[in-house]
Amino acid sequence: MTEYANAMLSWLRQSVRRQILVAAAAMLALASIAAAVIAVVNGRAAVETEMRSSIEFAEKYLRAMLPRITAQQSDALESVLSKEVVPLRHAELYVIRDGGQPELIKPSGLEHHDDDSEPAPQWFAELMQPKPNLPFRRFIYSREAQASLLIVGHADDEVAEKWHELSALATIWIAVVALLLTGLNLALRRILEPLVSLSKALTALEIGARDQRLDIPHVEELADIAHKFNSLAASLDQTRIENGTLYQQIMNIQEDERRLIASELHDEAGPCLFGITANTESIERLCADLPARQADQIRRRTQEIISVTERLKLMNRALLRRLRPLSLGKVPIGALLGDLIRDFERLHAGVKFIVSLETTQKTYGEKVDLTLYRCVQESLNNALRHGRANTCIVNVGETLSPDDHSVTLVNVSVRDNGAGIKPGTETGFGLAVMRERILSVGGTYTVGSNWPQGTGVTVTIPSGASDGISSALRKASEVTT
């Protein structure tokens, strides 16, 4: 039962065109088998009828001829028959004298009577042979010749004729079936082409190509599907623009909050920690005038305060980098990403990080740099937090756009060997925000998962990216107009 279910599932996964072609081929094969059975049955009946007619004709012909053979010609009966009797159709003539063995009569002047036609295969001959109980032998006694004539029917010639006839019909039928299937394949390809375009458009729409629209086909049902897809795509386009605007506002508020908190930590927490360190060191210097026992106790306390303060300084710097690097847009993106990955290495000592930063000598502007920074940060967080990976590979490089060689593309790839993304898992807020960040700068991204192991995130952003949300809004206004 399981094998049958698997076979049915495998069949249902085939393309519609292949299913229709296989179904049509199966029906034509069944029709061919039925036609072959009917042809064999009718052919066998025709062979029996032909044999019966041939035997009856030969018997009547010989009975009419024998009275003309006189008794003086009885000794030359075989010679007379060979001269006057043409080769009988589907029958052989034998002469029997005085209860002896039958002697085959051959036409005069022909030592061998061979049929030039190719004989039928054995299996076909067995199918077409008449029933053995049919009377295909006739005896004629000639008083004048004092001999008996034996007429024996042979269906080999008739079966060979049927074989060649049916072979020719089968060849024509196979050619017709091949032409029908070829024509059906071409017709289905033509008819189902809008469905292929629909599948490609849905895939493109899924990865964020908002401008997908279908040409309206002439087939009524497919035209209705195309109209509904275009309407759905337009609605999704407008919804995505609105969502993108909201996400952009959320990201702007989030970045403003990050910037404010980072500024407070830098401007307030930093000087306060510095003041604590300075005052502690001054207290330590004042201990020189105190008795040795009291001075040692105070120095131990001040060393502990300085140690805690140094840890707070490290935490403050790490928080500053995580919230928003202060040097964003001012130093090369490679340096920022290098610091980010070193923080991950410090916090996750058991994880192996393989890093290739080819674009380390430039900055692409604050907006693009921030997008790249957040993409790597979010991808590594997901790999370590949700995927529990122990190896992460980060690659950052540049390529030229295949459509316009004057445009440089920044490519970011983050792969891991973690648990991957389980099929059917809904996109989380972090990936949704990352997607909107990428779309807002005119980039593209893919998230690939080899469940149950490994995830790969690939991001491509043009180096001279502009605000994708604004351009999308302009494009939507043009479409609606």
392: helix, coil or strand? strand
Q: What confidence tens digit (pLDDT) does each residue in 224-256 have? A: 888 888 888 888 778 877 877 887 788 778 778
**Which stretch of DSSP H or E encloses residue 326?**
none
**Which stretch of DSSP H or E encloses residue 399?**
strand 391-400
Q: Is the pLDDT of residue 159 over 70?
A: yes
Residue 9's pLDDT is what? 66
Q: Is the pLDDT of residue 353 over 90?
A: yes
Q: What confidence tens digit (pLDDT) does each residue in 373-397 have? A: 889 988 998 899 888 899 999 999 8
Residues 354-367, mean pLDDT to the nearest whole number: 79
Q: Is the pLDDT of residue 430 over 60?
A: yes
Per-residue pLDDT band for 352 (boundaries 50, 70, 90) equals: very high
Residues 120-144, mean pLDDT to the nearest whole number: 74
Contact 213, 230 (CB under 8 A): yes
Residue 188's pLDDT is what? 82
Higher-confidence residue of 358 and 108: namely 358
Higher-confidence residue of 354 and 99: namely 354
Residue 164's pLDDT is what? 87
- Paired residues of 460 in beta bridges: 411, 444
Q: Is the pLDDT of residue 470 over 50?
A: no
Residue 112's pLDDT is what? 45
Average per-residue pLDDT for the chain: 79
Indicate if the alpha-carbon torsion angle 276, 278, 282, 284 is positive or negative.
positive
Residues 417-428, mean pLDDT to the nearest whole number: 79
What domains lie within the chain, and their CATH numbers? 14-181 (no CATH), 332-481 (3.30.565.10)
DSSP secondary structure letters along 411-463? EEEEEE-S----TTPPP-HHHHHHHHHHHHTT-EEEEEE-TTS-EEEEEEEET
**Torsion angles phi and psi, residue 232, rounded to 5:** -65, -40
Per-residue pLDDT band for 413 (boundaries 50, 70, 90) equals: very high
Residue 395's pLDDT is what? 92
* Interatomic CA distance for residues 177 and 304, integer angstroms: 93
Per-residue pLDDT band for 145 (boundaries 50, 70, 90) equals: low
Identify the weakest region by mean pLDDT among 7-11, 176-180, 346-350.
7-11
Q: Is the pLDDT of residue 92 over 60?
A: yes
